């Protein structure tokens, strides 16, 4: 397919995209023309095939095909109501799959909507990974602050390890830190938090923050035992909130190694300049440059 045709079709498909409550969609009447169908009756046959494919794939038809009606001008100021269909990106892809493969527009649409769907998936995964990395970094900060606060109250490194371990045991329903490492297969020498799902990382961080707050508030709180009791209470309180929502931290599966996420994010960021077209260089007196 010629590059100029790809560029033109890309523009046409993007121009006709609409948005409702954050959901991107196309209207079937517009898609009909984009895909080279002259008659609506013929195009509805393709839509019906796409609906069947959607259902066979285990998806609810109403989630991707929504019937609507609209008024159109039929001349001399007269208006007539016609049927139309709101189509998600996935619905458009299924329509293209069930269209006439001899049409260049169909070949383009199949690949266009497949790529766009993949972009959405990649974006969602990247944001999910970023949120987990942020949560892990925040947990490291709260652990650092907690260690600093308790050192001021006469607790050494060994004491801090005891306090953190007791907090884990309270959060994970009686399972100590090493028990949890064994349960989810954490490699030797690695931190448990690097393999926990985001919600559990945030739970540990929240328990830390409550403990830090209460230690600072109570100047009389001193020593390993008093601070460990405080941290256990806070970890149990956070666990109780999770349990009310049917979440048991000790039963959640391990997530991808945070260190792998970091390396992947760094690698993708390094590729960004290489895959971004440079601005054109101006010649002459250089006017227009910032």
Listing DSSP states for the chain in one string gives: --HHHHHHHHHHHHHT-EEETTEEEEEHHHHHHHTT---HHHHHHHHHHHHHHHHHTT--GGGTEEEEEEEEEEETTEEEEEEEEEE-HHHHHHHHHTS-TTSHHHHHHHHHHHHHHHHHHHHHHHHHHHHHHHHHHHHHHHHHHHHHHHHTTT--HHHHHHHHHHHHHHHTTT--HHHHHHHHTPPTTS-GGGGS-HHHHHHHHHHHHHHHHHHHH-TT--HHHHHHHHHHHHHHHHHHHHHHTT--GGGSPP---HHHHHHHHHHHHHHHHHHSPPPPPP-TT-TT--
Residue whose tokens read 């998600």: 88
223: Cα separation from own chain's centroid: 42
Q: Quote the pLDDT of residue 127.
A: 83
**pLDDT for position 290:** 42
pLDDT band at 288 (very low <50, low <70, confident <90, very high): very low
The predicted model gives 1-18 an average pLDDT of 83
Q: What percent of the chain has pLDDT over 90?
A: 60
Model pTM score: 0.66
Spans of all domains in the chain? 3-100, 124-272
Question: In this model, does residue 289 exceed pLDDT 50?
Answer: no
Average pLDDT for 1-16 = 82
Question: Over 60: is that where the pLDDT of 198 sits?
Answer: yes
Average pLDDT (248-274) is: 88
pLDDT tens digit sequence for 27-80: 999 999 999 999 999 999 999 999 999 999 999 999 999 988 776 666 666 767
Average pLDDT over residues 167-190: 96
């Amino acid at each position: 397919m010629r590059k100029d045709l790809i560029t033109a079709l890309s523009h046409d498909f993007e121009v006709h995209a609409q948005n409702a409550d954050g959901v991107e969609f196309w209207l079937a009447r517009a898609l009909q023309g984009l895909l080279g169908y002259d008659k609506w009756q013929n195009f509805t046959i393709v839509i019906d095939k796409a609906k069947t494919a959607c259902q066979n794939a285990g998806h609810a038809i109403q989630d991707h095909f929504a019937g609507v009606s609209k008024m159109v001008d039929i001349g001399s100021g007269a208006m007539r109501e016609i049927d139309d269909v709101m189509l998600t990106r996935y619905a458009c892809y299924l329509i293209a799959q069930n269209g006439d493969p001899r049409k260049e527009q169909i070949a383009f649409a199949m690949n266009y909507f497949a790529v766009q769907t993949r972009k959405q998936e990649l974006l969602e995964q990247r944001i999910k990974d970023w949120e987990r990395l942020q949560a892990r970094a925040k947990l490291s900060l709260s652990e650092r602050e907690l260690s600093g606060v308790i050192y001021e109250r006469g607790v050494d490194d060994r004491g801090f390890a005891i306090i953190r371990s007791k907090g884990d045991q309270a959060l994970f329903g009686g399972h100590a830190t090493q028990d949890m490492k064994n349960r989810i297969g954490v490699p030797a020498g690695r931190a448990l938090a690097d393999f926990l799902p985001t919600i559990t990382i945030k739970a540990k961080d929240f328990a830390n923050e409550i403990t830090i707050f209460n230690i600072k508030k109570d100047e009389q709180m001193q020593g390993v035992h008093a601070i460990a009791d405080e941290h256990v209470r806070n970890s149990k309180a956070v666990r109780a909130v999770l349990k009310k929502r049917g979440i048991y931290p000790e039963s959640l599966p391990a997530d991808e190694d945070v260190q792998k996420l970091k390396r992947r994010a760094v690698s993708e960021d390094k590729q960004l300049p290489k895959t971004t077209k440079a601005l054109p260089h101006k010649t002459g007196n250089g006017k227009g440059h910032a």
